[in-house]
Amino acid sequence: MDAPRRYDLPVTGMSCAACAVRLEKVLNRLPGVSAQVNFATGKARLSAGPEAADGDAVLAAIRKAGFDVAPQVLELGIGGMSCAACAARIEKVVGRLPGVEGSVNFAAETARVRYMPGLADPAAIVAAIARAGFTATPIAGRDREAERARKDAEFRAELRLFWISALLSLPFLAQMAGMLGAGFGGHHDDWLPRWLQCLLATPVQFWIGRRFYKGAWSSLLGGGANMDVLVALGTSVAYFFSLFVVLAGRHDLHVYFEASASIITLVLLGKLLEARARARTSVAIEALLRLQPPTAWIERDGQLVELPVAQVVAGMTFVLRPGDAVPVDGEVLAGTSSADEAMLTGESVPVPKVPGDKVFAATVNGDGVLHCRASGVGADTLLAGIVRLVEQAQGGKPAVQRLADRIAAVFVPTVVAIALATFGLWWWLGGELAPALVNGVAVLVIACPCALGLATPTAVMVGTGQGARAGILVKNAEALELAEKIKVLVVDKTGTLTEGRPSLIDLRCADGVARGEVLQLAASLEQNSHHPLARAVLDAARAEGVAPLAAASAQAFGGKGVTGQVDGRAVQLGSPEFIAAQGVAMPAALLEPLLAAALTPVAVAADGRLLGVMGLADPLRAGARAAVARLQALGLRVVMLTGDHPAAAARIAAEAGISEFRAQVLPGDKAAAVEALRAEGRVGMVGDGINDAPALAAADVSFAIGAGSDVAIEAADLTLVRSDLNGVADAISLSRATLGKIRQNLFFAFIYNIIGIPAAALGLLNPVIAGAAMAMSSVSVVSNSLLLRRWRPQQPD
């Protein structure tokens, strides 16, 4: 009797212990299933016997109960793919596993698989891919240098095979030249002895071309068909027909050894050029990785010790000498200098570094000496995060690729059917075997699913790589596609348009109230807040030597204000509307001068009496006005959202050149405002704070300013490493350039097959010419994508 299978499922959506009890009851009702759900760990432990409900039934029951299972992500390197049909085949095989879905990037030779723990595991996924005739190895922890060395060795081996094949095919050139001179209808196969032609073509067909037979067999064994099937079938027909003619002594029939040998040689040449071009699509990321030095100078007991970067741990003190590349992320402890961060942000101006500032791996130290504490090492550096984001985006597929994927899935069987129909019709109508054979082979070798499979991923790879070099991190390919379609761009004010560092400009006190008293009470309530306005109050109190007191029972009201007990007094701080709602009178004499100056008013009251009103201002970011003008020139309608007072909002909007704004929008209402604007077209949202996260999630495309909060960056589709609104315009420009290349590539790929296959079927193409055209089609698509490397972000004036 089989032992029960035990596994854990990470469950999401449980808000209390009662949820765990309810889910446990639901799972235990399933046949053959015993479950224990732990609310504290968020996991359901299941024991399933041989007759138990399958994984899909378990998943369905969990979802029906209102919960879900958190998927895991497995990144795999895929080997053995020869065209887009292979990628489509792997996606189909993986998708048949319970609780598994995958996306395969043919250009990058990678797969991104999401699976439900307990329903599937990495070993089962890898085994399923292996059964389909491909290899799969987890990418996590991979040695990039070893991987690059392996690919270089494979390329050199393929190059040697190509040169051998070219040498063996060289004698056929004169014969092909004679064929071309006589027109495609003529054939001069006696210029070389037929036995010599067979001797030259045989090693090309079965030694050099064994990769096509191997790939075709694996594909057919896995239940699919790929480009290898077309090449192996087409060249085999030409070779074996010619071999029959030679062995049977049929001098009345032509031989086609030159076709079989030349097609294999030309396809190999195309694959080599394609591999070289594909390697260049990821050159931006490779360049970033090479910037990180292999060692770091660590300070130990007053001595400097050189350690490999892999041995550096958080908390160690490392030293940066003038011109040193930064080995890991860290915080400056001592020293002053500047850093060239252009490789991460695209900004060429050196960034000053003083104690307390952050330094990032792969950036370059200036003329000073810095002592830094390591804060992010290994996978936790900003550089590693950028690489992960870019590789994640490169593994995704925009919607424009879906049509090409559907066609690629049925492409090879359709071409084989067309080739058989061509052969049959030519033989039936013409009564001659040779022309029918030639035209059928031409159909097989002209068809190219590779160009369809490379059209989108190569452009996405180059585009996201260029974006990373310019400080634009794309989380997914869908966002890159949608960015060009934005009609309305919603911009948060504080920290996005402005510096995010407001300061106290004016303070109006009620009669008999001292300035220090107002500042002390305000600072006491704000001392544990991270809001920019709170920091402005605390900075002002600190500058005037006012120390905050302990605050009790502090309660924040999002976007409105805060209340609490300070030194036995009931204190309220917030917007004038919030203070008035507390029953406190708001004299116009204190408020109106601040509003007239377009300052943000923050009122302070105690024990039901207004003590004073502070006027705060947050300066506009340098270059914000130019960035807004550039966005508007791109055809975008720019709308500013802020929780600030209308007068202060109007001032910033006017300074930035924005004619449309919404003021006094509470954090919880920002998402609703974005949703309302979506009725007028696709909406993009730019923000930087925690309170922007819901609005960022509600937008069609979201941009997070890199200096903003981790929550905002996590919610956004694109992250701007530079805290510069020009990055949004650059991202939209990059999106338009990338989508333009994708459309060009798809047009070329479709038009090539639409014209080439009928031309071959009508007898207008010789198989050798068809093979050359097929080989070059993929190269042309990849080369067109590489033109994206010319894209550059616009430098601000």
Other C-beta atoms closer than 10 Å to the C-beta of 65 total: 16
Q: How many residues does the chain have?
A: 797
How far is 349 from 538, CA to CA, in rounded Å? 31
DSSP for 355-397, written as a single string: TT-EE-TT-EE-SS-EEEEEEE-GGGSHHHHHHHHHHHHHH--
Residue tagged active-site, from 492, 618, 644, 692: 492
Instruction: Indicate if 357 belongs to the active site.
Output: no
Provide the 3-class DSSP secondary structure of residue 73: strand
Interior angle at CA 357, CA 354 and CA 363, nearest 5: 95
DSSP 206: I
Provide the 3-class DSSP secondary structure of residue 712: helix
How far is 362 from 63, CA to CA, in rounded Å? 45
Q: Are 735 and 484 in contact (CB under 8 A)?
A: yes
How far is 320 from 138, CA to CA, in rounded Å? 35
Provide the 3-class DSSP secondary structure of residue 198: helix
For β-strands 5-12 and 43-48, DSSP reports them as: antiparallel
CB burial of 712-737 (b: ≥16 within 10 Å; e: otherwise) equals bbebbbbbbbbbbbbbbbbbbbbbeb
How far is 332 from 371, CA to CA, in rounded Å? 6
How far is 493 from 210, CA to CA, in rounded Å? 63
DSSP for 196-230, written as a single string: HHHHHHHHIIIIITHHHHHHHHHHHHTT---HHHH
How far is 103 from 90, CA to CA, in rounded Å? 9
Burial (CB < 10 A; 0-12, 13-18, 19+), residue 55, is: buried
Quick one: tokens of 498?
């402005």
- For the annotated catalytic residues, the residue numbers are 492
